[in-house]
Amino acid sequence: MAASSTITHLVVPGTFDPVTYGHIDVISRALKICPRVTVGVALSRGKHGNGTMFTLQERVDLVKQALEEANVREGVDVKPLTGLLVDFCHEVGAGGVVKGLRAITDFEYELQQASLNSRLAPDIESIFVMSSPEYGYVSSSIVRELASFGSDVDLLVPPSVSCALKEHFAQAR
């Protein structure tokens, strides 16, 4: 067995439609594991059978703004992810992927993805972090649903995201 090298760069992938405080928590925790993190904002043409609410560029911009607002700057980069995750990891030079888990259903899905990624690229490690208790119930779909009814989502998302949601649903009405 070959000696393994230390991972110095991780990818935190996701659709981030929209980015939430839960996502920022996972990104921050990935930075505690590794000095360099690339956030891969996935194109996700058909998430759950219906595209994304925000465009890919809007989501990239919102993630950048949200990280800035959360004072998460050092060692993090945000890029669009339009192909396979393992190819993206190789392109940016990352040795692993960090995914946040909220519930057992997340684990089942992420385990399947990690197993597939391991077959496609055995050199890319999968790392799972459990959701912090204060964010275990937060998901982008819940945020979108609440915002669509005009509910206040300020405790769930950074100010720039809250503003973007209000603008989006004001235009939809």
The single residue of 9, 102, 166, 168 carrying the catalytic annotation is: 102
Catalytic residue among 9, 44, 47, 168: 47
Active-site choice (23, 29, 59, 99): 23
Alpha-carbon distance 1 to 147, whole Å?
A: 52
47 has catalytic annotation: yes
The single residue of 131, 140, 160, 162 carrying the catalytic annotation is: 140
Give which of 101, 31, 42 is closest to 67, Cα–Cα: 31
90 to each of 8, 27, 81, 87, 96, how far by Cα in Å? 13, 19, 12, 5, 10
User: What backbone torsions phi and psi does residue 36 show, to the nearest 5 degrees?
Assistant: -135, 130
Q: Does 168 qualify as catalytic in the annotation? A: no
Is there a catalytic annotation at residue 140?
A: yes
**Dihedral, 141, 151, 166, 172 alpha carbons, nearest 10:** 80
Residues serving a catalytic function are: 23, 47, 102, 140
